[in-house]
Amino acid sequence: MLEFAEAFKLALNLVLSFDSNLLEIVILSLKVSLIALVIACIIGFSLGSLLASNKFFGRGFILILINSFMALPPVVVGLVVYMLLSKSGPLGWMNILYTPSAMILAQSIIITPIVLALSRQVIEDLENEYADFFKSLNMSKFQIIKALIWDARYSLITVSLAGFGRGIAEVGAVIIVGGNINHFTRVMTTSIALETSMGNLPFALALGIILLLISLSVNALVMALNLTSKRYAFA
């Protein structure tokens, strides 16, 4: 117990002193996850909107595939991306294996099905609710999708939060395609795993504290946005 208390004290000192090594890892983690999230949201919201507002043959099968991909094992994603980006792979010419770009690609593949599936459900529920209203206004498909996305904006922010949480907590895929290289591809989760195995508990705890703070901050922001939206809705 005393050892843990001492490690926790040292971890707090690292966080409060803005340790340079700590900041470097945190900044890279946020950069990789946020870029991957933006890519996933662009793809996920677009395809989710199309799937929500269109009925066609084979749609049910596509939805089953998307829902299945939500539970795709990250290490499998990492392995597939590794094979694609390796020198002998079809994308080997890009020469991005063991770089942050490879990590962004892997995280985007992991996050996109989550964003796609959840946004599709949110938008489809709204469309069912407003279907008669849209028909009465004789709105085009593009106008309907635009209106639905705007009306669901706070729910979609929550969807983005779920995707961000999934991405920033990822270990398996990023360590396979990134290599956990110091000062280059080492992110918070891979650092925590490495430092814990090496017995450097203060540094691992410091990163864990920052991860928790990031999670709490994002949740607080989304809650504030939801409260603001409700206030304006009933104003």
pLDDT in tens, 208-222: 999 989 888 878 877
- How many Å apart are CA 140 and CA 147, to the nearest integer? 11
Burial class (CB within 10 angstroms; exposed 0-12, middle 13-18, buried 19+) of 202: middle
Q: Where are the alpha helices (DSSP H) in 86-181?
A: 100-137, 141-151, 153-168, 172-178
Residue with tokens 């000192």: 13
Helix, coil or strand: residue 170: coil
Mean pLDDT of 142-160: 85
Going by pLDDT thresholds of 50, 70 and 90, the confidence category of residue 230 is: low
Whether the Cβ atoms of residue 164 and residue 218 lie closer than 8 Å to each other: yes
Q: Is the pLDDT of residue 1 over 60?
A: no
Q: What percent of the chain has pLDDT over 90?
A: 48
Dihedral angle computed from the Cα positions of residues 229, 42, 86 and 79, in that order, rounded to the nearest 10 degrees: 50
Domain enclosing residue 122, as ranges: 2-233
Contact status, residue 123 vs residue 195, Cβ threshold 8 Å: no
Distance CA 115, CA 112 (A): 5
How far apart, in Å, are the Cα atoms of 87 and each of 93, 95, 103, 185?
A: 7, 8, 17, 19
Kindly report the average pLDDT of the chain as a whole number.
88
Give the model's pLDDT for residue 233.
54
Q: In the prediction, which pLDDT does 2 show? A: 46
> In this structure, what are the phi and psi dihedrals at residue 169, rounded to the nearest 5 degrees?
-90, 0
Dihedral in degrees, nearest 10, Cα atoms 198, 201, 206, 210: 70
Nearest to 191 by CA among 5, 214, 164, 178: 178
Task: For residue range 165-193, list pLDDT tens digits in order.
Answer: 889 988 889 999 999 999 899 999 999 99
- Provide CB contacts within 8 A for 86, sequence distance 6+: 92, 97
**Which CATH number does the domain housing residue 209 bear?**
1.10.3720.10
Total tally of structural domains belonging to the chain: 1
